[in-house]
Each structure stands twice: as structure tokens, then as C-alpha cells.
Amino acid sequence: MRRMIGSVVLAAMVVVGARLEAADTKYGAGVTLATATPIKELYDSPDKFVGKTVRVDGVVTAVCTGMGCWLAIGAADNPDQAVRFQADHDGTIVFPITMTGKPASAEGVFVKIEADGHAKEAASEHAQSQSKAAEFGSRYQFQVTGAVAP
């Protein structure tokens, strides 16, 4: 009898877990990479990742309040270390402000921002000007291909 109850409870947990996963909202292409790269690794050696498609998991620390064209994801254990995911301005991917503070996964091509002053200003918009995240954000970001969040 205990085995049967245990089996029923286990089956219910699997069904609930599958439903929660299915309830995630997909933005753009969603995420396709199975493994996430820790944000700390991006901060420690960013040039190693330039031009590569990378997945990041963490907490949404900021979202563009104008057009929803970017979001920043911080490490769950260090939200001050955040990376910015920039969408094209064509409205194909729009991130709602309600994502802020929620867990999310996003992926895209990691790029080094050229010296263009406007691009650097926009990239560091989500962070305070004197922080390490602002410095990082003014030099590197993602061209987002997709994201998922609850």
C-alpha cells in the first residue's frame, strides 16, 4: 500500500513539474542550448565567448521600459553581475516589464560593442554608471535569439 501511495505521489509530482515547464513563456526562439554558461565566466574572460551562441540562466534585473527591446539577467547568487540581451528594434521579440525579478533563461550571440558612443550608452542603461556591470555592459552584450521565463 505504501509503495502504491509513493508511486501515485511521484507520478503527480512529475505531472505538476511537466505542467510548470510547459507554462513557461517563450520569447523569440526560446532557448535551445542544454547547458548555461555562468555569468561569472563571461565576466572573467569575455573575449573567449565573443561571436559564440551562449545560454545564460539567472534572474531578470531590468527590462527596457520604452519598447521592451532588451533585458538584463543577473546571476542568481550575484545579481550585480548582469548581462544584457538586446533584441532587434523590429518588435519581433518584446520583453514585458513584469519579467523583472523573475527567473529566466536567454540565449544569443555574445558580441563586443564597437566604440560607437550611442551603442555604449544604450548598453549600460540598465546598470548604475559606476558599477562593474555598467563597465561590462558598455563593452559586451548579447544579440538575443530567444528567452524563456515563467
- Whether 36 shows a pLDDT value over 90: the answer reads yes
Nearest to 43 by CA among 107, 136, 142, 111: 136
- Quick count: other Cβ atoms within 10 Å of Cβ 119? 14
In order of start, what are the domains of the chain with their CATH numbers? Answer: 27-149 (2.40.50.200)
Give pLDDT tens digits for 120-139: 455 545 444 346 666 787 89
Residue 82's closest CA among 145, 28, 128? 128
pTM: 0.75
CA 83 – CA 40 distance, rounded (Å): 10
